[in-house]
Amino acid sequence: MTSVDEPARPNGRIRDAARTQAEILDVATQEFARLGYDGARVDEIAARTRTTKRMIYYYFGGKEQLFTAVLERAYTVIREAEQKLDVEHLDPVAAIRRLAELTFDHHEQHPDFIRLVSIENIHGAEHIAGSEKLGRIGSPALDVIRRILAAGQESGLFTADVDAVDLHAMISSFCFFRVANRHTFGALFGRDLVAPEQREHYRAMLGDMVIAYLTAERSTH
Amino acid sequence: MTSVDEPARPNGRIRDAARTQAEILDVATQEFARLGYDGARVDEIAARTRTTKRMIYYYFGGKEQLFTAVLERAYTVIREAEQKLDVEHLDPVAAIRRLAELTFDHHEQHPDFIRLVSIENIHGAEHIAGSEKLGRIGSPALDVIRRILAAGQESGLFTADVDAVDLHAMISSFCFFRVANRHTFGALFGRDLVAPEQREHYRAMLGDMVIAYLTAERSTH
DNA sequence: TCGCTAATGTACGAACTAGTACGTTAGCTA
DNA sequence: TAGCTAACGTACTAGTTCGTACATTAGCGA
């Protein structure tokens, strides 16, 4: 408990507003993702920080606003990743498959984000609704999908009109379910959807599914 | 607040253990689904019942066990619905499409159940793991899928070996996502996945997707 | 270098919340 | 019909939890 714990401050600064805020957000993200909004404790978040509870209220205002800030940062990270998507040099079929795979990878790599989204849905997305930032964040991935779909339809590779938002929902649903429902699915069906040895299998399955859907001859029904 | 509130008891009974338990489970289901496990309040559940908090502890033992009981009943309802599945008189393609549609309908009709499953996943499925009942409940739908897949593969309609559990995951993921992530998806993309006028569209989309996947010629990749 | 303010820490309180001790009664059964 | 027990109600408590009043200080700018 002595200052020996602290291994010679890298910055030479004790007071660093930006770092304090970032550290609070880091811990809060973990705690909210682990325990849900109501399950997480402000005191516990503070305790796992190098600062105190007072700072949470100083910088964020309260538990509710802290959760909103956590969501905002999590979505920002995802949108930034989407902006780095580079698949449009591929032919439409390969491009969509690649996009699906990258979505798959991103979901797998960010289970905390998936959990936060689940939690936010339990609460009716009220924090997103109340956030200006999240209202106008958009989705670069959607634009990419839109362009690939247009190219695919023009070339005749893709059958008829598929909506970009719908395709995004289709891809996301599989990726999301696999991570979000991992526990109940595993407990009930004895299969771990996120087991490393199944990873390639499910990744290919998603790609096959999406491509099959886009390239199938539609029968009348 | 007088006894006039109560419109002449139908049963002529004041004490009815079964009805009391059922009423507690009904209200608890609503409250847990609405607010999450930690968000729900035992006092509030009791208040919305014709009985008192004491009875919750008398019959269920505590909040944790009450939630487990809620889950057990919810899963029992779903399994009973699955047992009424009657699609095997159809040809494999029609049978799978019908099964997917019934799964779609069931998810739509039981949003509370979807929310409970989301909540249980936030908590690592610990209640399912701790429940004997849920451990051996099985899934009739899975057996149906298994038989249809076998028939479809034998007749050559379905390409190669698709696992029943995987197909179940594929169908469920779309149905689940549509209901569970309705709020965040709507807030971010401006589209209500559960809007009545979109219902047929998404129902057909799911069927098309699954059939396309099962009947596609697999390319090497 | 002096003072001012952003940044931080401490201690506390009011309200809530799961759970329980204790008392009561309906209505079945002998 | 007497009495016994499952079923039910009331009132309370111990511990928790969000939030805040008040005190302090680092370090930048004049």
What pLDDT score does B161 carry? 86
CATH topology of domain B1-61: Arc Repressor Mutant, subunit A (1.10.10)
Say whether pLDDT at A133 is over 50.
Answer: yes
Report the nucleotide nearest the CA of residue A18, measured to C1'.
Answer: C7
For chain B, which residues score pLDDT lower than 50? 1-12, 221
CB contacts of B176 in chain A (<8 Å) are: 173, 177, 181
Q: Which pLDDT score is estimated for B219?
A: 60
* pLDDT over 70, % of chain A: 92
Q: What is the pLDDT of residue A12?
A: 36
CATH superfamily of A72-215: Tetracycline Repressor, domain 2 (1.10.357.10)
Binary contact (B170, A124; C-beta < 8 A): no
B176 CA from D18 C1′ (Å)? 34
The mean pLDDT value of chain A amounts to 92
Boundaries of every domain in chain B = 1-61, 71-215
Residue B58 (CA) to nucleotide D2 (C1'), in angstroms, measures 28
B9 contact to strand D (CB, 7 A limit):
no
Burial B194-213, CB ≥16 within 10 A → b, else e:
beeeeeeebbebbbbbbbbb
pLDDT at residue A5, rounded to an integer = 35
DSSP string, A8-71: S-SSS-S--HHHHHHHHHHHHHHHHHHH-TTTS-HHHHHHTSSS-HHHHHHHT-SHHHHHHHHH
Question: Residue B33: what pLDDT?
Answer: 98
pLDDT digits 0-9 by tens, A72-130: 999 999 999 999 999 999 999 999 999 999 999 999 999 999 999 999 999 999 999 99
| pLDDT greater than 90 at residue A13 | no
pLDDT in tens, A26-69: 999 999 999 999 999 999 999 999 999 999 999 999 999 999 99
Please give the pLDDT value at position A138.
Answer: 82
Q: Which of A10-19, A48-57, A171-180 has the lowest mean pLDDT?
A: A10-19
Strand D contacted by A218 CB (< 7 A): no
pLDDT reading at A3 higher than 80: no
Chain A residues within an 8 Å CB radius of B205: 166, 170
Number of C-beta neighbours around residue A18 at 10 A: 7
Would you say residue A7 has pLDDT above 60? no
Using CB atoms, which residue from B122, B187, B215 is nearest to A125? B187
- The CATH homologous superfamily for domain B71-215 is Tetracycline Repressor, domain 2 (1.10.357.10)
B142/A189 touch (CB, cutoff 8 Å), yes or no: yes
Instruction: Look at residue A219 in the predicted model and tell me its pLDDT.
Output: 60
B133 touches strand D (CB under 7 A): no
Neighbour tally for A164: CB within 10 Å: 19
A73/A139 Cα distance (integer angstroms)? 15
Contact A168, A162 (CB under 8 A): no
In 3D, which of B1, B60, B6, B5 has the Cα closest to residue B28?
A: B60
> Which of A37, A128, A184 is opposite residue B188, by nearest beta carbon?
A128
